Chains A and B, each alone.
Chain A
Amino acid sequence: MIKEKLEKILLKVQKPGKYVGGELNAVIKNKDEVDVRFAFCFPDTYEIGMSHLGMKILYSLFNSKPYIWCERVFAPWIDMEEQMIKNEIPLYALESMDPVSEFDFIGFTLQYELSYTNMLNMLKLANVPLKSSDRTELKNIVVAGGPCACNPEPVADFVDIFFIGDGEEVDLEVIELFRECKKSGKTKQEFLLLASQIKGVYVPALYEVLYNEDGTIKSFAPKFENVPEKIEKRVMMDMDNSYYPDNFVVPNVEIVHDRAVEEIFRGCIRGCRFCQAGFLYRPVREKSVDCINEQCHTLCRNTGYDEVSLSSLSSSDYTQIVPLLEKLSSWSVDENVSLSLPSLRVDGFTEDILSKIKSVRKSGLTFAPEAGTQRLRDVINKNVKEDELLDTCKVAFNGGYSTVKLYFMIGLPTETLDDVKGIADLGQKVVSTFYQAENRPKGKGVRVTVSSSSFVPKPFTPFQWEPQDSIDTIHEKQAHIRENLTTKKISYNYHDADTSFMEAVFARGDRKLGEVLLKACEKGMRFDGWSDCFSLENWLEVFSECNIDPHFYANRRREFTEILPWDHIDYSVTKEFLINECKKAYDNQTTPHCREKCSNCGAMKHKGGVCFEKRSSLV
């Protein structure tokens, strides 16, 4: 039925190939032969969602179980959405073309705050009630995971179950529980109560929040006995034996990251104080060289991709990086497969690594010094020295590169205009380094791109109590960089301050924001991560209609003693550690990374990973 209606509209929209499925390796099952149907929804476009590794892992994992059929759903772009509404086509899943409203589970991965409106809009397009309390039957269970689940509160009204931490085990445990509950005719409430007993599961409806007069939280407590007060994250400790797909769905239309992706480790040893991922995914757990090598080879063979990206939060921190690249090169060169290493650190970039990446194909170089002066880099614990950056650039320029991208953040705690000017100065120094490199590419000029984003304080970081700079201040700082750039060899881009502001509001929001999201969805707002659709004006209107002050969330300094909306979620990193890190930041003091010295963050309780590696200083 949906298929016939679709045929009439597909030629009226851009890139219709996104809406029809049928890709290589897509999993088709007989719906009568499965017990649980799971609609895995990515709250953004096909091109973005299909690039996401977490979705690939869970899609394959779920489908490896004969009793589950997991299908993919993406947010239709606005042209397609318009046609779907006009022709009464509900949101459907790409494998079966069945409406999402027929599925047992509707799962979302929450990768960024500005996709919350897309999640609601997708439920709306699926004709599924938005609020958890309005879905009373044991069906259409809305579940969510991903980094934004670390502060689930802004979307707590809509989601039945949040998965906290790594999803590989907990998701299956909940699906299995659902299967049993469905067979034995249990109610949704009974199912949710049972689910809350599983480690890593957070059922927001089972908790009550009370507020103080000033809007801060007075208390947060379970409504029922046996419902845990704290929800501990799940962690996959043995990465070699964790499930990893031997196959990806290979899209027919071009997507953002159109290549094979291999996760080489989870977590990050560095502890940069602004970086949420660096704290959420502790401790660092590596895969072995042999495991990575085999998984890469299998993936390339099964997909036909001629490029494999070695993914992690900081690839050069992989302890066996050179042996790994050597092992991979033993087949990749012959099979015309190129290797790419995103997230290289300035201090981890060696000629050895450079030659391995370059052996097949050369891509641009990107470094993220994050701040312009050493003082501020110490504040944020980005332990990169200026001469390290310049030395690395020199290696790259001598190796034939002539374009470098530099990423910075503005609005960091304790930042002054001198720090901001330092960004422009550093760009200039990179340009000079090019002309000092003896073996630089001849006849070519150097191109340096300086990009600045605006700092968004995030939960579970030492800066979770910090106010965000106002939009006006961010604009002033952007202008300051531009004024201090004198050469045309440097181009300057910056991330829009308006979207960073909304991101900051939702990142540290509480349950009161549910009303705001609901109203935004009613007004048809979605794709707020896209400049085509985002409008600060519309958002401010929604906030004022709900009588909620967004600055309360984005620009307010919190006391260390305040109950934060996410305090009931436990990512193993203790609050004492975060407070201590925050104080050290104010003193311009750095903290050594996990391999240099343990800083006792709390992640050691998982009894593995980097916490139990032999440190070189001790050997």
Chain B
Amino acid sequence: MKNVRVWFKKDDQCRYISHLDLNRVMIRAIQKSRLPVWHTEGFNVHPYITFALPLSLGFRGERESMDMRILDDNLKLDVIKDELNKCLPNGLSVFDVTEPKMKPGAIASAKFKMRLSCDEYSVEELYTKLQEMLNSDEILVDKKTKKGIKKIDIKEYFKDAKHYDTENDVVIRVTLPAGSTTNINPTLLVKAFFEKYSVEPYYDITRVDVFDEKGRAFE
């Protein structure tokens, strides 16, 4: 038995499914592929899979990963990739299968690409307003936590964000804390913008990559 890490992209129609739905889709793909995946031995038998870091509904993911155990040690990793791809819906595609090097718990941050636009402002206006907000002393926003709603300042998290406007939208690239300890969802910026200007921009967010606490890409 060996552990494998399945790397996949979540995009197109599948960016609109929740983490729970993703779990179901993957389990069915494994069942359909007939790959020798280890199943739980409990009351409700199912393939045992774990995702490194859940992705919010609506986000695109370029380097998502899922771990599972393969019963056949000699099975080629490429075969797993090809067989799974035959069984996945449009919008989910496996691009690599590797031996896991880090534990999912090692994940400390994630890099996002945000594309923002809105009907109320032109791209230039939106860009100016976003810059104005990012340059202010603090960016206060309500964050939902397990203990209730908390006001937090996200200024610090976005201080290194790179942003530029393109023809149709404003693009922001930002690396935010992610993982088991702290999570900052990039949509907090959208929320802060709404609280300040009463305009809710459309957002199209991609999680580009995830890193450990030393900034090394998760492997």
Task: Choose among B25, B27, B39, B45 the residue with the greatest number of A CB atoms under 10 Å from its CB.
Answer: B25
Task: Kindly list chain A residues whose C-beta atoms are within 8 Å of the C-beta of B12.
Answer: 22
A250–B28 touching, CB < 8 Å: yes
- Name B31's contact: one of A16, A20, A22, A304 (CB within 8 Å): A304
A430 to B17, CA, bound (A): 43
Task: Kindly list chain B residues whose C-beta atoms are within 8 Å of the C-beta of A557.
Answer: none
A7–B204 touching, CB < 8 Å: yes
B202–A336 touching, CB < 8 Å: no
Task: Kindly list chain B residues whose C-beta atoms are within 8 Å of the C-beta of A19.
Answer: 16
Task: Kindly list chain A residues whose C-beta atoms are within 8 Å of the C-beta of B30.
Answer: 304
- Name A11's contact: one of B33, B39, B58 (CB within 8 Å): B58
Q: Cβ of A24 < 8 Å from any Cβ of B?
A: yes
A254–B89 touching, CB < 8 Å: no
A26 to B88, CA, bound (A): 12
Task: Kindly list chain A residues whose C-beta atoms are within 8 Å of the C-beta of B44.
Answer: 361
Tell me, rounded to whole Å, the shortest Cβ–Cβ distance linking A1 to chain B: 16
A22–B14 touching, CB < 8 Å: yes
Q: A24-B89, A302-B32 are in contact. Are A252 and B46 (CB under 8 A)?
A: no
Task: Kindly list chain A residues whose C-beta atoms are within 8 Å of the C-beta of B202.
Answer: 7-8, 11
Q: Cβ of A21 < 8 Å from any Cβ of B?
A: yes
In the complex, chain A residues 17-32 whose Cβ is within 8 Å of any chain B Cβ = 17, 19-24, 26
Q: Cβ of B51 < 8 Å from any Cβ of A?
A: no
Closest Cβ neighbor of A8 among chain B residues: B202
Q: Cβ of A35 < 8 Å from any Cβ of B?
A: no
Q: Cβ of A546 < 8 Å from any Cβ of B?
A: no
Closest Cβ neighbor of A337 among chain B residues: B31
In the complex, chain A residues 325-361 whose Cβ is within 8 Å of any chain B Cβ = 336, 360-361
A336–B13 touching, CB < 8 Å: no
Closest Cβ neighbor of B200 among chain A residues: A12
A252–B58 touching, CB < 8 Å: no
A22–B28 touching, CB < 8 Å: no
B32–A303 touching, CB < 8 Å: yes
In the complex, chain B residues 24-77 whose Cβ is within 8 Å of any chain A Cβ = 24-25, 27-34, 39, 44-46, 57-58
Q: A10-B16, A252-B13, A336-B31 are in contact. Are A304 and B45 (CB under 8 A)?
A: no
Instruction: Annotate A19-55 by CB proximity to B: 1 below 8 A, 0 otherwise.
Output: 1111110100000000000000000000000000000
B21–A20 touching, CB < 8 Å: no
- Name B28's contact: one of A7, A17, A20, A304 (CB within 8 Å): A304
Task: Kindly list chain B residues whose C-beta atoms are within 8 Å of the C-beta of A221.
Answer: none
Beyond contacts A11-B202, A23-B13, A23-B89: 10 other A-B pairs, Cβ-Cβ < 8 A, are: A7-B202, A8-B202, A10-B58, A16-B58, A17-B13, A20-B13, A22-B14, A22-B90, A253-B18, A303-B28
B88–A16 touching, CB < 8 Å: no
A22 to B27, CA, bound (A): 18
A17–B87 touching, CB < 8 Å: no
A360 to B90, CA, bound (A): 31
Task: Kindly list chain A residues whose C-beta atoms are within 8 Å of the C-beta of B88.
Answer: 24
Task: Choose among A252, A302, A305 the residue with the greatest number of B CB atoms under 10 Å from its CB.
Answer: A252
A253–B17 touching, CB < 8 Å: yes
Task: Choose among A19, A22, A303 the residue with the greatest number of B CB atoms under 10 Å from its CB.
Answer: A22
Q: Cβ of B203 < 8 Å from any Cβ of A?
A: yes
Chain B positions near chain A (C-beta within 8 angstroms)? 12-14, 16-18, 20-21, 24-25, 27-34, 39, 44-46, 57-58, 87-91, 202-204
A21–B13 touching, CB < 8 Å: yes
A17 to B34, CA, bound (A): 26
A243 to B88, CA, bound (A): 26
Task: Kindly list chain B residues whose C-beta atoms are within 8 Å of the C-beta of A26.
Answer: 90
A361 to B31, CA, bound (A): 16
A248 to B88, CA, bound (A): 14
Tell me, rounded to whole Å, the shortest Cβ–Cβ distance linking B71 to chain A: 13
* Chain A, interface SS category: loop
Closest Cβ neighbor of A302 among chain B residues: B32
A305 to B88, CA, bound (A): 13
Q: Cβ of A301 < 8 Å from any Cβ of B?
A: yes
Interface size class of chain A, counting residues whose CB lies under 8 Å from the partner chain: 20 to 34
> Which 6 A/B pairs are nearest by Cβ-Cβ distance?
A22-B13, A304-B32, A304-B28, A22-B90, A16-B16, A20-B13
Task: Kindly list chain A residues whose C-beta atoms are within 8 Å of the C-beta of B58.
Answer: 10-11, 16
A16–B89 touching, CB < 8 Å: no
A24 to B27, CA, bound (A): 13
A336 to B45, CA, bound (A): 7
A599 to B103, CA, bound (A): 70
Closest Cβ neighbor of B205 among chain A residues: A11
Closest Cβ neighbor of B92 among chain A residues: A252
A15 to B19, CA, bound (A): 12
Please report the number of residue pairs spanning A and B whose Cβ atoms sit closer than 8 angstroms: 77
B31–A305 touching, CB < 8 Å: yes
- Name B91's contact: one of A22, A258, A336 (CB within 8 Å): A22
Q: List 9 A-B contacts (CB under 8 A).
A: A7-B202, A17-B14, A20-B13, A250-B89, A252-B89, A254-B21, A306-B28, A306-B31, A336-B39
A254–B24 touching, CB < 8 Å: yes
A24–B87 touching, CB < 8 Å: yes
A17–B16 touching, CB < 8 Å: yes
A51 to B13, CA, bound (A): 20
Tell me, rounded to whole Å, the shortest Cβ–Cβ distance linking B109 to chain A: 24
B28–A305 touching, CB < 8 Å: yes
Tell me, rounded to whole Å, the shortest Cβ–Cβ distance linking A298 to chain B: 12
Closest Cβ neighbor of B187 among chain A residues: A11
Task: Kindly list chain A residues whose C-beta atoms are within 8 Å of the C-beta of B89.
Answer: 22-24, 250, 252
A15 to B57, CA, bound (A): 9
- Name B87's contact: one of A8, A22, A258, A304 (CB within 8 Å): A304
A17 to B24, CA, bound (A): 13
B203–A301 touching, CB < 8 Å: no
Closest Cβ neighbor of A361 among chain B residues: B44
- Name B21's contact: one of A21, A252, A301, A302 (CB within 8 Å): A252
Tell me, rounded to whole Å, the shortest Cβ–Cβ distance linking B29 to chain A: 6
Q: A7-B204, A22-B91, A254-B21 are in contact. Are A301 and B16 (CB under 8 A)?
A: no
A17 to B90, CA, bound (A): 12
Task: Choose among B12, B28, B33, B57 the residue with the greatest number of A CB atoms under 10 Å from its CB.
Answer: B28
A361 to B33, CA, bound (A): 22
A301 to B33, CA, bound (A): 8
Tell me, rounded to whole Å, the shortest Cβ–Cβ distance linking A79 to chain B: 14
Tell me, rounded to whole Å, the shortest Cβ–Cβ distance linking A577 to chain B: 46
B87–A252 touching, CB < 8 Å: no
Closest Cβ neighbor of A336 among chain B residues: B45
Tell me, rounded to whole Å, the shortest Cβ–Cβ distance linking B123 to chain A: 15
A361 to B43, CA, bound (A): 8
Tell me, rounded to whole Å, the shortest Cβ–Cβ distance linking A316 to chain B: 25
Task: Kindly list chain B residues whose C-beta atoms are within 8 Å of the C-beta of A24.
Answer: 28, 87-89
A252–B39 touching, CB < 8 Å: no
Task: Choose among A24, A250, A304, A305 the residue with the greatest number of B CB atoms under 10 Å from its CB.
Answer: A304
A419 to B120, CA, bound (A): 65
Task: Kindly list chain B residues whose C-beta atoms are within 8 Å of the C-beta of A20.
Answer: 13, 16
Task: Kindly list chain A residues whose C-beta atoms are within 8 Å of the C-beta of B17.
Answer: 17, 252-253
A452 to B58, CA, bound (A): 41
Task: Kindly list chain A residues whose C-beta atoms are within 8 Å of the C-beta of B45.
Answer: 336, 360
Task: Kindly list chain B residues whose C-beta atoms are within 8 Å of the C-beta of A7.
Answer: 202, 204
